[in-house]
Amino acid sequence: MSSKDEFNDWLRKRRSTSKDPFFGEIDNMFREMDRMMDDELKQFAERVPKEYVKERKLPDGSTVKELGPFVHGYTMKIGSDGKPEIREFGNIKKGDKGTPQVRGEREPLVDIVETNGEVRVVVELPGVEKTDIKLHGTEDSLEISVDTPQYKYYKEVELPVKVRVKEATSTYKNGVLEVVLPKEATPKSRGDPINIS
């Protein structure tokens, strides 16, 4: 038995045997919190897409439902302008009334690096084959998607500058996709001024 289970057992026994008015009120608060947490978990489980619900057989022959995997996080870096850039990733988003919503596809971790002549987009897509990845680009965005029975990823990346999509190159190795997009050439000069004599 884990120390967490032991603590929960001790707490349950303490609450059920308490006759003290002070602890009695705390017991009521704990019961209400337990009820609220159970309700919230039930509501969350009802909103989970089918592909995130699995059943696992235990050694004693019984089965248990498992939910997940659920992924949510943020990345932060300092952009070329010196300002922080914060990006969200994962498959859980804030829904109506602040409740978490599980999306069918996971938003992968993405990093964008801009150099003088190109934009480099690095995307983590673990567990998929190169042939599963779909890329679609425009002059100012890149769409990445994977839709397999085991893995679903989707991300639309806004690029910091206009690029030449037809000249883009990409590689995929060890779960990491790298797309290199040459920057669009700066507009041609309208010429040089000519003095009138």
In a domain, 46, yes or no: no
Q: Looking at residue 164, which CATH number applies to its domain?
A: 2.60.40.790
Average pLDDT over residues 111-115: 88
d(CA 121, CA 142): 9
Q: Please report, rounded to a whole number, the percentage of residues in the chain having pLDDT higher than 90.
A: 29
**pLDDT for residue 12 is more than 70:** no
In a domain, 148, yes or no: yes
Q: CA triplet 158, 178, 101: central angle to 5 degrees?
A: 55
**pLDDT for residue 92 is more than 60:** yes
Task: Name the more confident of 137 and 97.
Answer: 137
In a domain, 31, yes or no: no
In a domain, 6, yes or no: no
* pLDDT given at position 181: 94
In a domain, 196, yes or no: no
pLDDT (tens digit, 9 = 90+) per residue, 29-41? 888 898 888 887 7
In a domain, 155, yes or no: yes
In a domain, 144, yes or no: yes
Q: Could you tell me the two tokens for 59?
A: 């050694």
In a domain, 23, yes or no: no
Q: CA triplet 116, 190, 181: central angle to 5 degrees?
A: 25
**pLDDT for residue 14 is more than 70:** no
* pLDDT given at position 72: 77
Classify each residue of 141-163 as buried b or exposed e, where b means 16 or more C-beta atoms within 10 Å of its C-beta.
ebebbbeeeebbbbbebebbeeb
Q: If pLDDT is split at 50, 70 and 90, which confidence band does 86 have?
A: confident
3-state secondary structure of 142: strand
Q: Per the structure, how many domains does the chain have?
A: 1
Please give the residue range of the domain that contains residue 128: 72-182
pLDDT (tens digit, 9 = 90+) per residue, 145-196? 999 888 889 999 999 899 999 999 999 999 999 999 999 876 555 666 666 6
